[in-house]
Amino acid sequence: MKKRHEQKLIILSIGLLIAFSIPVSLLFNSEREIFGYPMILVYLFAVWMTSIIISFVIVKKYDE
């Protein structure tokens, strides 16, 4: 794997560590709901889905 792809994945990992930390996650712990789901669940799954897509794009560029 190229060095710049490794660096991008490390930056993504650090960003996820911050996004999934308790203080940041608790910012979305409210009574609001989106489509009947609590805000914290929507936040966690949105961050998770976004990280999967970003990882896929980074690794896909490596294959080319």
**What per-residue confidence (pLDDT) applies to 40?**
93
- Are 60 and 42 in contact, with CB atoms under 8 Å apart? no
Using a pLDDT cut of 90, give the percent of the chain over it.
Answer: 69
Residue 5 pLDDT class (50, 70, 90 cuts) = confident
**What per-residue confidence (pLDDT) applies to 47?**
96
- Amino acid, res. 24: V
6, pLDDT greater than 90: no
**Alpha carbon distance 47, 42 (integer Å):** 9
**Alpha carbon distance 25, 32 (integer Å):** 14
- Amino acid, res. 9: L
Give this prediction's pTM.
Answer: 0.82
